[in-house]
Amino acid sequence: QKEVEQNSGPLSVPEGAIASLNCTYSDRGSQSFFWYRQYSGKSPELIMSIYSNGDKEDGRFTAQLNKASQYVSLLIRDSQPSDSATYLCAVSGNEKLTFGTGTRLTIIP
């Protein structure tokens, strides 16, 4: 079992709709959770961090964490073409940060 799993996609979403990205992790001791966005040919950039169960909202982005289910998600509301990118889930625990393989998201105008 991979430590951090994501659906590789591609995930296609119409412009203006909600994009939902999911991530599961195997280490129950994980403490910190991050979503990074990576445009093609660019480096990852942090868009959200979440540390406790529940929802965290930042503009059009909402991160959701459920530690009991070992599940973290990212919702993007009012999707824009500029949201087209690969989204990487990263999970930390025991001094180790592990990335998933990423989900490629395409917003269709």
3-state SS, 44-60, equals: CEEEEEECCCEEEEECC
Name the minimum Å distance from CB 38 to other proteins: 9
CA 29 to CA 60: how far, in whole Å?
Answer: 29
Name the minimum Å distance from CB 64 to other proteins: 18
Q: In the complex with other proteins, which residue's Cβ is closer, 2 or 14?
A: 2
Binding site for other proteins (CB under 8 A): 4, 31-32, 34, 36, 42-46, 49, 51, 88, 90, 92-93, 95-102
Would you say 94 and 25 are in contact if contact means Cβ atoms under 8 Å apart? no
